[in-house]
Amino acid sequence: MSAADTQALEEALEKQARLAAEITALRTRIESAADSNASPAKKQKTEPAFRFSKLLTSIKPSGTVMVFNKVKQMQAAGEKIVSLCVGEPDYPAPKEVLAATKDAVDKGMYRYTSVVGTVELREAICADLKRRKKVEYGTDEIMVSVGAKQAVFVAVLALCGPGDLVMTFAPYYVSYTEIAVMAGAEAVTVPTTPESGFEVSPEQLAQALKENPRTKMIILCNPSNPTGSVMSAELLTQYAEVLQRPENRHVLVLMDDIYEALAYDTEHGCMAAVPGMNSRCITVNGFSKSYGMTGYRLGYLAADSQIVKACAKLQGQINTCASAICQHAAVTALQTPDSWMSDMVATMRKKRDMVVAALRAMPGVKVPVVPQGAFYVMPDVSANYGKKTAAGAIINGSTDLCLHLLADYSTALVPGIAFGFDGGIRVAYATDMETLTEAMSRLHKCLAALS
Ligand SMILES: Cc1ncc(COP(=O)(O)O)c(C=O)c1O
């Protein structure tokens, strides 16, 4: 090795050590903020060595929940954090829904309901799906669940197990892969690129299914968390053509339509409405995002009655039924005039436009998809990787960048790696303009300071 090579190697090792020290310091700072908030009793207690299940150790904690918890802990320790990491609408639920919630209590409607949900709510869901998505379901084809996430979980658990593959497209919603693993199945992800607008072409889908013949179910999120892209009826029809080929007829599709009411310019496509797909499609939706009712924990799935029966068998053993009070309020939510949702969408569109413009003005940032739905954008920030912070640490990926942003700019975003795309970071823009402006300004400063 020449003297120059030796010197280069020494410098590289020194840089690596500096980066490792800096990341450790950042992590320690975050953890100690959390610890300082722990109760005195908890602080003194030494952790018992519990032997947790194999299932627990085989799944990753939710990346978004982890960041959210850290932010809450830092805030509780007195740090002022600007957070754009949580996927929660900032608008309140319609006032009629809040009144109906009180009404349910006053009328004593707080007992168990049928496992699949009250007839009133299932009828209202059927009517809503018929009116807005032009799909017809009977009440025996609906199961009300404790949030949309639980509907996904129960459907995967009912249909997939050891030996089966559950396919998702990256960047994906963090829970899909882990739910597949919890069911004992394997998760397989189809990668996409920023250049293709994170879209999987029908040809790519055909190829992915050919390479993974054990695929039992595909989970698609439309509009997408985390990219904000929307699959049109045309794209879904092309996917359906692939799925209807003889070799793919065993594949089921779970459409997570939880953000469906929040679509801007591209009309949201409904897979269950594509001819020939209804009986193979499980549509999941809920009240968290559309009506700002996240804490009501209410969702549903619409599917073939045999699938609903299977899911109900599991739900009956897991949580019996969703909250009776919330189900009563949800009937009112479905009567909300369309103009209410249009107002929410119009306000969200302004936030999207502001955030996209701010991101596009930042160094080394591209916005491959201008969100067409939901309230997330996933800018590609990878041109900043390999650069150094003022303290000399090298940013090697989305986790480094988000930790640096949190520790030195008190701003929380979720690393794209949590969604299977390390080149990006997820910005959740469902918050007030002041917070958005401040967060964008801090991210800009953070990126501009990298060299
Ligand atoms: C894609 C997606 N599906 C499901 C959920 C969970 O919805 P719910 O609150 O109805 O369980 C979320 C929440 O962030 C989501 O982003």
Average pLDDT over every residue of 38-50: 61
Structural tokens at position 169: 């497209």
Count of residues for the chain?
A: 451
Among 84, 173, 229, 257, say which to mutate for ligand 1: greatest number of ligand atoms within 8 Å of CB: 173
Quote the ligand 1 centre to 126 CA distance (angstroms). 21
Domain-embedded: residue 8: no
Phi, psi angles (nearest 5°) of residue 174: -55, -30
pLDDT at 64: 74
pLDDT at 13: 47
Asked whether 168 and 198 are in contact (CB, 8 A), the reply is no
State what percent of residues in the chain have pLDDT above 70.
89
Long-range Cβ contacts of 275-278 (<8 Å, 24+ apart): 275/240, 276/240, 276/244, 277/240, 277/243, 277/244, 277/253, 278/135
363: preceding bond cis by omega (within 30 degrees): no
The mean-pLDDT minimum among 29-38, 180-189, 353-362 falls in 29-38
pLDDT at 11: 58
Give the model's confidence band at 289: pLDDT under 50 very low, under 70 low, under 90 confident, else very high.
Answer: very high
Phi, psi angles (nearest 5°) of residue 420: 85, 15
Same domain membership, residue 74 and residue 61:
yes
**CATH code of the domain in which 62 resides:** 3.90.1150.10
Domain-embedded: residue 360: yes
Q: Is 256 near ligand 1, meaning CB less than 6 Å away? A: yes
Same domain membership, residue 346 and residue 300:
no
Same domain membership, residue 103 and residue 52:
no
Quote the ligand 1 centre to 219 CA distance (angstroms). 13
Same domain membership, residue 363 and residue 388:
yes
Domain-embedded: residue 322: yes
Domain-embedded: residue 10: no
Atom of ligand 1 nearest to the CA of 299: 10
Q: How far is CA 346 from CA 118, 349, 387, 439, in A?
A: 33, 5, 38, 21
User: Of all protein residues, whose CA lies closest to atom 14 belonging to ligand 1?
Assistant: 87
Same domain membership, residue 55 and residue 131:
no
The mean-pLDDT minimum among 38-47, 182-191, 294-303 falls in 38-47
Same domain membership, residue 134 and residue 101:
yes
Examine the fold and report which residue of 292, 314, 336 is the final residue of a domain before the chain moves on: 336
Examine the fold and report which residue of 336, 355, 382 is the final residue of a domain before the chain moves on: 336
Domain-embedded: residue 74: yes
Inform me whether the pLDDT recorded for 28 exceeds 60.
Answer: no
Q: Is 173 near ligand 1, meaning CB less than 6 Å away? A: yes
Same domain membership, residue 121 and residue 270:
yes
Average pLDDT over every residue of 271-286: 97
pLDDT tens digit sequence for 95-154:
999 999 999 999 999 999 999 999 999 999 999 999 999 999 999 999 999 999 999 999
Examine the fold and report which residue of 336, 358, 388 is the final residue of a domain before the chain moves on: 336
Q: Is 429 near ligand 1, meaning CB less than 6 Å away? A: no
Phi, psi angles (nearest 5°) of residue 201: -80, 160
Same domain membership, residue 214 and residue 124:
yes
Quote the ligand 1 centre to 402 CA distance (angstroms). 22
Q: Domain span at residue 436?
A: 22-90+340-448
Mean pLDDT over the full length of the chain: 91
Same domain membership, residue 256 and residue 167:
yes
**CATH code of the domain in which 325 resides:** 3.40.640.10
Mention every residue, 6+ apart, whose C-beta is less than 8 A from residue 346: none
Same domain membership, residue 366 and residue 227:
no
Quote the ligand 1 centre to 156 CA distance (angstroms). 15
pLDDT tens digit sequence for 182-222:
999 999 999 999 999 999 999 999 999 999 999 999 999 99
Structural tokens at position 268: 């949201």
pLDDT at 15: 52
Domain-embedded: residue 423: yes
pLDDT tens digit sequence for 308-329:
999 999 999 999 999 999 999 9
Q: Is 294 near ligand 1, meaning CB less than 6 Å away? A: yes
Quote the ligand 1 centre to 380 CA distance (angstroms). 23
Domain count, the chain: 2
Same domain membership, residue 344 and residue 323:
no
Domain-embedded: residue 7: no
Inform me whether the pLDDT recorded for 359 exceeds 50.
Answer: yes
Domain-embedded: residue 188: yes
Same domain membership, residue 374 and residue 309:
no
